[in-house]
Amino acid sequence: MAGVSPAASAATVPSSVAGREAIGGRAPVGGYVSGVPARPARQTHTTTRQTSLQQVVLPDVFAVAPREITAAQLARLAKLHYVRNLIAVAGGAVGIKGHQVQVIGVNSNQFRSWTAPQTASQQSIWTALAKGGFSTTAAVAKRLGLRAGSSYRVTAARQPSLGYGGTADIGIPGVDAVVGSATSRQLGLLPQIGVLISAPGAKLATLDAQVSRVLGQQTKFISLRQHKVSSQQLPVDGKVSGGRPDSYLALFQDSAALYCKGLSWTVLAAIGQIESADGQNEGPSTAGALGPMQFMPSTWSRWGIDAFGETGAPNVMDPYDAVPSAAEYLCASGATHGQAGLSAAIFAYNHAQWYVNEVLALAQEYAREYG
């Protein structure tokens, strides 16, 4: 958010700081971004590619309840402070080739957004789930000698033969395999026994305690938060497509190259995803922030620019204006001055350390997928 707090999207809680001013302030997240950086923005030149970035939700915790989670309980969880999104899954143990395998059953269209970009982009995995197949972690595939394209008898309430779609990074420690909703029912998995929760601003101990009060004290928790900043170099490219970007990916790449030389496009991509899911939730937020990069009106009046052939007054709702404007704002806030400068610039975009952590974590995911 270039400057404010989160509004509520699907399963979101309004932020306690809603109404504060900053650049952006979007629905999916909380916190706020403030005023204007001290240094003037600068412009420069440079990147591109032609793929689209799928929606990404970074999960913070996986909670396994002692019994089936009811619709009323899910509604209560969605109202907890800091909860941005959640998704319930089925689960249980099945047998494959004489080995016990822990499996979850998911709505694959929803769950795909909760996986790492590398996994979300593996179309073969999602095709297999849609066709009633299953996928496993690489470790399980190796241990059981599974081969993509083959079928295997899965022992549960019933014993169907399921097609194996290959390996995937499921992203939940202790979960070995995943199936779609229809297959989950066929196998007799426990419905809605687990819930993935995205609550980026919450302390995990506090979140766990709040969730336990809703689901029961015997609820088990697995932390999924990976907010350590790795030493991986975020990709910086000096080339541009030479034309008008035709996807959000190309727009992020060209905007970083042309309007903040030295800034990794993955940072813009992460901010765009967290703020609006790349234009899918453009506000206004509870604080009044607007557009794909969630600018507050007062911040936009100073930092909004026309770019990529757009004319007239800069339009906060137009990604061809909003993304380059965000690049300039980050650059002026010191984003190209080493890791400390980048963190400070992201903090200027939204005054919350969890926001910095989440942006950098997602930027590193994009770097692994597209870099």
End-to-end CA distance of the chain: 24
Which residue blocks in 137-288 are alpha helix, DSSP H?
138-144, 181-187, 204-215, 248-259, 265-276
Q: What is the pTM of this model?
A: 0.75
- CB of 364 within 8 A of CB of 232? yes
Tell which wins on pLDDT, 48 or 119.
119
Structure tokens at 175: 């979960």
Burial 307-338 (b: 16+ CB within 10 A, else e): bbebeeebbbebbbbbbbbbbbbbbbbbbbee
Residue 203, phi-psi category: left (phi > 0), alpha (psi -120 to 50), beta (remainder): beta
- Would the pLDDT of 197 be above 70? yes
Q: Which of 18-27, 197-206, 276-285, 360-369 has the weakest average pLDDT?
A: 18-27
* Location of structure tokens 């995937």: 168
The first and second tokens of residue 63, run together, are 């909670």
Stretch among 4-8, 91-95, 285-289 having the lowest mean pLDDT: 4-8
Lowest mean pLDDT among 32-36, 53-57, 68-72: 32-36
DSSP state of 87: E
The one-letter code for the residue type at 135 is S
> 207: burial class by Cβ within 10 Å (0-12, 13-18, 19+)?
buried
What type of residue sits at position 351? H
Which of 61, 88, 66 minimizes the C-alpha distance to 76? 88
pLDDT of 227: 55
Local structure of residue 95 (DSSP, 8 states): E
pLDDT-derived band of residue 6, with 50, 70 and 90 as boundaries?
A: very low
The residue count for the chain: 371
Please state the separation of Cα 123 from the chain's center in Å. 18
Q: How does the average pLDDT of the chain come out, rounded?
A: 83
Residue 371 has pLDDT above 80, yes or no: no
What's the mean pLDDT in 190-215?
A: 95
Helix, strand, or coil (residue 62): strand
**Which range is least confidently modeled, 75-79, 248-252, 277-281, 353-357?**
277-281
Query: Could you tell me the pLDDT band of residue 2, with boundaries at 50, 70 and 90?
Result: low
Q: Higher confidence at residue 10 or residue 124?
A: 124
